[in-house]
A and B are shown apart, each in its own frame.
Chain A
């Protein structure tokens, strides 16, 4: 055998290396290609229909769980998180605990990058209410840190949105916690 016995394979492998996508795809019959194209189209259509269905069901579920007249939704957002590493949040509404949430690192990262979490969705009668949020985590110099934020708000007809904001205060070198009411 001489080195000339191998060049075909070597060329094949060379192409593989250059394209970096494995071995060349095996040839498909024309019928298979046409069937695959039809299937691809059908799959696209199914995905779209399922996405639309999910949208409908998501909205329907929300209307059933919390009709707009009585709906109250509480969100959590975070900015850079330099002075506070959030571990958990506890929410009380009018003295009753309505949510306890322990965060994963992935969720914290999603919050840090601008994501906003809907922590609670429920119903409230019209009138005055009090929301208290307790934030637990690590504060400056990696010390255990627990802080609360309280807001009194009026629930009127229509949904009520409250955002719990954790913001770094560069001036105080501390985290700030406050609640924003959304119209």
Chain B
């Protein structure tokens, strides 16, 4: 559920709630980044956004892209970079909703860094333009900041309005109840917890939150000495949830406090039967015989104290085994195997212990905020290490691709050279100019026969030939008649050719003009080919240099990454050992109390036996 919540938070940060309508994407590169983002592949999404911003591929989504990038950097714990990305957006021409989102993210970032005044300052810039869900989270953040600053009254002001889409209304109500409790308004706090603890849950997340509200309500009631009010809270908690052990423990204490001691037996018996891996069960082992002792059943009390002592000793032995495993460096590999089941761990050559004593304690370790943060960084680094190794392999492939391209160029370029040499672009252009000049001359000379149809020209030639022939005959009336008819025919032919001349001339002009586009394209292609040819070597050399530079970077990052991973693994081990120390001390204390209580039971029994 934590992962789901983290995702939800991230979605809200980016203003993209799952229930929201699909975004109207106007830049393909932004849509591509979203495609990875919505599949929880945040790293790839961030990389694509960085590349798109660099290549200016987000003309419509520049702000959206940078906002999302800032959110992703925040998610990856890159606080300094996230801050730079977000602050860069503020002076620009940003829509109010986006500006509010930037301030909200900056507030969250400051809160995560522990800079509460700055978080407050960023929240003060909000101008009421956030979407409903994000506005709810902003109110929650304001409440948390106020609580962290020890100002529950201000928290109550921030959390006055708990109306929000689920599950944010539950979070807001929960925090409001805590603020009420801290400001000394126990009754109001219990009423708020009661409201949250009795509402219907529509899904597992809401059911879990309801359990937690009941748990907090029950312990809050115990704290203000109202065990009678605590009991219904504990009774409402599901026995299969992660609050079950604490609920059973609390139910017993509420019964004892409410003077219904026998009612404590059932929850504590159930609790004592659980594996003693968490603190509630450890306390339950001691609580059960205490209840029997309170009810006067010393025999049962003694038996359960003995069982508790045995369990504590066994648990201590298990803790010793866990400590040995942690000290041997098994923890990081175990955590990694839990996070990515099915993947073999290559970490420091340690076998992956999928089932080991450590795994029993993972839920408790993972519940710690500092451990969660350190673990997330560790797993991020491991993922990045895999990513780096993949790129290292790809760089070799890049070399091969470049070699292939180089070889192809070596093969193709001479052929291109030969073809280019054959193309006489100037001659083509001169021919086109000559054609245009010819058309000018035709227009000026009105040479109708030059553009006439072939059959017309042929007919015209025949008529001219006949005129010459007839003209050479001895003069006679017949000759004159023929000549007259032939002149008339020549006139008709000329009239027709002349009438068609403008259209025919226009048609030829159009054809000559139509040569311009292919000629221009040929000129462009010719120049491009010449350019490509000229730059081919420098382009290939440039790509080769870039590959070499990235290889150097990979080589430099490898040891740094390994060293950071080792340091982070050591940190996880240190945190785990500190937690184990604490548990050891708790176990010692319980063991001592159990031994002492058992001695007192024996003493009481002895006194009864000795009584005359």
Stretch with Cβ within 8 A of A (4 or more), from B117-125, B313-321, B328-336, B547-555: B547-555
Q: What's the Cα separation between A51 and B553 when bound, in Å?
A: 12
- A1-B600, A25-B368 known; A113 vs B23 contact (CB < 8 Å): yes
Shortest CB–CB separation between residue A63 and chain B, in angstroms? Answer: 7
- Decide: A48 near B78, CB < 8 A? Known: A13-B219, A14-B223, A59-B55: yes
A18, closest chain B residue (CB):
B216
Could you tell me the distance between the alpha carbons of A64 and B550 in the complex, rounded to whole angstroms? 14
Stretch at the interface among A3-11, A130-138, A139-147: A3-11
Which of the segments B351-359, B377-385, B484-492 contacts the partner chain? B377-385
Residues on A with C-beta less than 8 A from B554 are 53
| In the complex with contacts A26-B579, A55-B50, A13-B279 CB distance below 8 A | yes
A75 contacts B32, C-beta separation under 8 Å: yes
CB-CB under 8 A for A9 and B543, given A22-B369, A44-B77, A157-B528: no
* 0 or 1 for each of A43-65: is its CB under 8 Å from B? (1 = yes): 11011111111111111110111
Bound Cα distance A16, B401 (Å)? 58
Shortest C-beta distance, A62 to chain B (Å), equals 8
A60 touches B547 (CB 8 A): yes
Evaluate contact between B38 and A110: CB separation under 8 angstroms. Answer: yes
Cβ A25 vs Cβ B223 within 8 A: no
Closest Cβ–Cβ distance, residue A23 to chain B (whole Å) = 7
Least CB distance from B418 to A in Å reads 19
Question: Do the beta carbons of B557 and A116 come within 8 Å of each other?
Answer: no
Number of A-B contacts (CB under 8 A): 221
Instruction: Known contacts A43-B381, A64-B402; decide if A113 and B76 are in contact (CB<8 Å).
Output: no
Q: How far is the CB of A35 from chain B (nearest CB, A)?
A: 8
Residue of A nearest to B365 (CB): A22
B530 at the interface (CB under 8 A from A): no
Known contacts A17-B219, A42-B567, A44-B77; 9 additional CB pairs below 8 A are A3-B256, A13-B280, A14-B220, A16-B246, A26-B575, A44-B78, A51-B47, A112-B22, A115-B34
A30 contacts chain B at the CB level, 8 A cutoff? no
Q: Is the CB of B257 within 8 A of A3?
A: yes
Within the assembled complex, what's the spacing in Å between the Cα atoms of A110 and B16? 12
B31→A18 contact, CB < 8 A: no
Q: Is A118 at the interface (CB under 8 A from chain B)?
A: yes
B216–A17 contact, CB under 8 A? yes
For the complex, would chain A's binding face be called helix, strand, loop or mixed by DSSP majority? helix
Which residue of chain A lies nearest to B567 when distances are taken between CB atoms in the complex?
A39
With a CB–CB cut-off of 8 A, which chain A residues contact B532? 69
A residues near B (Cβ < 8 Å) are 1, 3, 5-6, 9-11, 13-14, 16-18, 20-23, 25-26, 28, 32, 36, 39-40, 42-44, 46-61, 63-65, 69, 75, 77, 79-80, 106-107, 109-118, 157, 161, 163, 182
- Chain B interface residue count, CB cutoff 8 Å, equals 99
Selected contact of B215 from candidates A17, A26, A111, A163, CB within 8 Å:
A17
Contact partners of A36 in chain B: CB under 8 A = 571
Q: List 28 A-B contacts (CB under 8 A).
A: A3-B257, A6-B287, A13-B280, A18-B220, A21-B369, A22-B367, A22-B368, A25-B368, A25-B369, A36-B571, A43-B77, A46-B381, A47-B76, A47-B381, A50-B561, A51-B46, A54-B391, A55-B51, A56-B546, A58-B48, A63-B543, A64-B401, A64-B405, A79-B22, A113-B22, A113-B23, A114-B23, A161-B28
Given A43-B77, A47-B77, A61 and B568 touching (CB < 8 A)? no
Which residue of chain A lies nearest to B404 when distances are taken between CB atoms in the complex?
Answer: A64
B111 within 8 A of A: no
CA A20 to CA B179, docked complex, whole Å: 14
- Interchain CA distance A23-B32 in the complex, whole Å: 42
A84 to B294, CA, bound (A): 68
B25 at the interface (CB under 8 A from A): yes
Asked if B50 and A9 make an inter-chain contact with CB atoms under 8 angstroms apart, the answer reads: no
B95: interface (CB < 8 Å): no
- Alpha-carbon gap, A54 to B16, bound state (A): 25
Cβ B384 vs Cβ A1 within 8 A: no
Closest 8 CB pairs of A and B: A116-B31, A22-B367, A115-B35, A114-B23, A110-B38, A26-B578, A14-B219, A55-B50
Interchain nearest-CB distance for B396 vs A (Å): 12
Query: How far apart are the CA atoms of A16 and B215 in the complex, in Å?
Result: 10
Contacts of B280 in A (CB 8 A): 13
The chain B residues found within 8 Å of chain A, CB to CB, are 16, 18, 20, 22-25, 28, 30-32, 34-39, 43, 46-48, 50-51, 54-55, 73, 76-81, 178, 181, 212, 215-216, 218-220, 222-223, 243, 246, 249-250, 253, 256-257, 279-280, 283, 287, 290, 293, 364, 366-371, 377, 380-381, 384, 387-388, 391, 394-395, 398, 401-402, 405, 528, 532, 543, 546-547, 550, 553-554, 557, 560-561, 564, 567-568, 571, 574-575, 578-579, 581-582, 593, 597, 600
Alpha-carbon gap, A24 to B369, bound state (A): 9
- Given A17-B215, A115-B32: A46 and B564 interface contact (C-beta under 8 Å): yes
- Which residues of A are found within 8 Å of B32, using beta-carbon distances? 75, 115-118
> How many Å from the CB of B390 to the closest CB on chain A?
10
Contact indicator A113/B18 (Cβ below 8 Å): yes
Chain A nearest Cβ from B226, distance in angstroms: 13
> Smallest CB-CB separation from B22: which chain A residue?
A114
Given A46-B381, A64-B543, A80–B22 Cβ distance below 8 Å?
yes
Bound-state Cα–Cα, A53 to B398, Å: 15
B contact residues around A10 at 8 Å (CB): 219, 222, 253
In the complex, are the beta carbons of B398 and A60 less than 8 A apart? yes
* CB-CB under 8 A for A116 and B543, given A23-B367, A58-B48, A64-B402: no
What's the least CB distance linking A50 to chain B, in Å?
A: 5
Tell me whether A23 and B256 are in contact (CB under 8 A): no
Nearest neighbor of A12 in chain B, beta-carbon distance: B279
In the complex, what distance in Å separates the CA atom of A109 from the CA atom of B35? 9
Residue of B nearest to A110 (CB): B38
Are B219 and A18 touching (Cβ within 8 A)?
A: yes
CA distance A48 to B181 in the complex (A): 42
Q: Are B574 and A61 in contact (CB under 8 A)?
A: no
Name which residue of chain B comes closest to A116, CB basis: B31
Min CB–CB distance B99 → chain A (angstroms): 22
Q: Given contacts A3-B256, A115-B37, are A56 and B557 in contact (CB under 8 A)?
A: no
> Please, which residue of chain A has its CB at the minimum distance from the CB of B377?
A43
Closest A residue, CB atoms, query B589 = A9
Complex CA distance for A163 and B371, rounded to whole angstroms: 45
Could you say which of A1, A49, A65, A106 has the most chain B C-beta atoms within 10 Å of its C-beta?
A1
On whether the beta carbons of B391 and A53 are closer than 8 Å, the reply is yes
List B contacts of A63 (CB < 8 A): 543
Q: Check A114/B369 contact, CB under 8 A, given A13-B219, A26-B582, A65-B401.
A: no
Contact B81 A48 (CB under 8 A): yes
B560 near A46: Cβ-Cβ < 8 Å? yes
A51 touches B50 (CB 8 A): yes
What is the CA–CA distance of A48 and B31 in the complex, to the nearest angstrom?
A: 23
The CA-CA distance from A11 to B287 in the complex, in Å, is 15
